[in-house]
């Protein structure tokens, strides 16, 4: 997903400072440290399936690049970017190791532009699907608890609470990663998803000024504006998915 075309040293220094501050907070706050540990499985799931989805859709469109590079895998080690993973853990948003694709190999049933849009959409869409699946698991557990007095002791136990929290964090992280990647700025997936819908002049402006959009992205990210922009969207998506799950399970 992430692929900068300019010197990365500045952004890596900024990221290192952000991670350092966050880790210091974790070291002095046991509750934040526990949150970090509970969110780790959700981060692994979210990034792994997100990047796998990119490669799988590209493969189905006729491009074997991801397959040849061993990226059609659900092994987290094949998809994790160390810095991006840390950012997702400590800041709530991040990225995985980019999946390489070659749009020239896509089926001629659609334009390369539309093919790129589908491949880009696959990652966030997979995150939303995972959020729905884990929401169903969450409500299924509580539905089972309603039907069994014995299981109530499990849900109130330390193990039961830990499992529920793991599920909640997995839902939250997948929604956050999905929404974050839909921001229509390079290098995020949203920048390619909107491309087929832009008029010709807008596309040319977008392509010719890509570096400027990278800088804009970094600015809104470092200043916290990205969080301000996407938090209301994350809240809406979360409510929609949770309400959908509650409706399905009649809770």
- Known catalytic residues are 51
Confirm if 241 and 171 have CB atoms less than 8 A apart.
yes
Three-state DSSP at 42 gives: helix
How far is Cα of residue 99 from the mean position of the Cα atoms in its chain? Answer: 14
Look up residue 18 and give its two tokens: 């952000």
| Cα atoms in the 13 Å half-sphere on the side-chain side of 145 | 16
Angstrom distance (rounded) from CA 194 to CA 198: 7
- State yes or no: cis peptide before 187, omega within 30 of 0: yes
Judge residue 182's burial from the number of C-beta atoms within 10 Å of its C-beta, 0-12 exposed, 13-18 middle, 19 or more buried: buried
Confirm if 246 and 139 have CB atoms less than 8 A apart.
yes
Distance spanning both ends of the chain, measured CA to CA: 37
Helices 225-248 and 112-147: angle between axes, nearest 10 degrees? 50
Question: Ramachandran region of residue 62, left (φ > 0), alpha (ψ -120 to 50) or beta?
Answer: left
């Amino acid at each position: 997903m992430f692929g900068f075309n300019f010197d990365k040293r500045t952004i890596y220094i900024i990221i290192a400072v952000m991670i350092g501050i966050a880790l210091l907070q974790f070291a002095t706050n046991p509750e934040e440290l526990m949150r970090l540990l509970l969110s780790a499985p959700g981060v692994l799931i979210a990034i792994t399936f997100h990047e796998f989805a990119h490669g799988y859709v590209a493969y189905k469109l006729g491009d074997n690049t991801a397959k040849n590079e061993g990226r059609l895998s659900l092994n987290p080690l094949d998809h994790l970017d160390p810095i991006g993973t840390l950012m997702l853990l400590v800041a709530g948003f991040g990225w995985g190791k980019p999946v390489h694709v070659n749009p020239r190999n896509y089926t001629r049933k659609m334009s390369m532009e539309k093919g790129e849009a589908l491949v880009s959409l696959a990652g966030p869409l997979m995150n939303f699907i995972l959020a729905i699946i884990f929401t169903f698991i969450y409500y299924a557990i509580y539905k089972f608890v309603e039907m069994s007095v014995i299981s109530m002791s499990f849900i109130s136990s330390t193990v039961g609470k830990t499992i529920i929290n793991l599920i909640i964090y997995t839902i939250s992280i997948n929604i956050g990663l999905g929404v974050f990647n839909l921001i229509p700025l390079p290098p995020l997936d949203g920048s390619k998803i909107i491309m087929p819908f832009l008029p010709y002049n807008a596309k040319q402006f977008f392509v010719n000024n890509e570096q400027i959009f990278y800088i804009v992205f970094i600015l809104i990210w470092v200043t916290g504006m990205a969080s301000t922009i996407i938090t209301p969207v994350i809240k809406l998506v979360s409510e929609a998915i949770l309400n959908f799950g509650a409706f399905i399970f009649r809770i």
